[in-house]
């Protein structure tokens, strides 16, 4: 059985991606399970560059095939912000997901709703030789001013899904993994992963 490293320290992402990869005949490992402690600077100018930077660094460090994602929330009224800087939207050190949600709503207060938005995700798979495979996914909806739901993480509680009428945070893991941006991107990578892990 091959090993696949999910190159993330975000427990929410790890849970979602592990669930999506359950069909693979592979042992899923994480930086924590391998006692790896290092951060990769997300210095890329695109989601693809950042995802590839993370996956490549972990693949080099472990000799394993590594999967990483880079995801952003893009709000139309804010010209695509926070986008690449979704995790670093607040300039305050130690800002939480809740802090970033409050900041986003405050930035949108002067614009008339609906506040159209999308989540966009790029997944990078890097094999031990350094070969990079990319896939992408998106999910459309709008930002709402009040938080709804207790699942998920990040901006999920204020992202109302198009055509569903629920926020991301109101979905359980199984249903989120049917519709989310990350789910679309990871599923697109599965054929490539099967090839790499069966070598």
Q: Is 70 an active-site residue?
A: yes
Domain total in the chain? 1
Q: What Cα–Cα distance (Å) separates residue 55 from each residue in 45, 119, 124?
A: 16, 20, 6
| Confidence class for position 29, pLDDT limits 50, 70, 90 | very high
Find the CATH number of the domain harbouring 148. 3.90.950.10
pLDDT at 1 over 70: no
| Higher pLDDT among residues 198 and 171, named by residue | 171
The range of the structural domain enclosing residue 169 comes to: 2-197
* Cα 106 from chain centre: 24
Q: Which of 69, 70, 127, 156 is catalytic?
A: 70
């Amino acid at each position: 059985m091959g090993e696949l490293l999910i190159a993330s320290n975000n427990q929410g992402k790890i849970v979602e991606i592990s669930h999506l990869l359950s069909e693979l005949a592979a042992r899923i490992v994480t930086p924590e399970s391998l006692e790896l402690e290092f951060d990769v600077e997300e210095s890329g100018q695109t989601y693809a560059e950042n995802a590839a930077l993370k996956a490549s660094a972990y693949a080099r460090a472990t000799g394993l095939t590594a999967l990483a994602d880079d995801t952003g929330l893009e709000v139309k009224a804010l010209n695509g912000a926070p986008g690449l800087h979704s995790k670093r939207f607040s300039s305050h050190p130690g800002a939480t997901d809740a802090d970033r949600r409050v900041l986003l709503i405050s930035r949108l207060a002067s614009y008339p709703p609906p506040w159209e938005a999308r989540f966009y995700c790029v997944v990078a798979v890097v094999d031990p030789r350094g070969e990079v495979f990319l896939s992408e996914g998106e999910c459309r909806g709008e930002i709402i001013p009040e938080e709804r739901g207790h699942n998920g993480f990040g901006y999920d509680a204020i992202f109302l899904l198009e055509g569903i009428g629920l926020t991301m945070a109101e979905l359980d893991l199984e249903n989120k993994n049917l519709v989310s941006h990350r789910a679309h991107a990871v599923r697109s990578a599965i054929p490539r992963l099967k090839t790499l892990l069966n070598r």
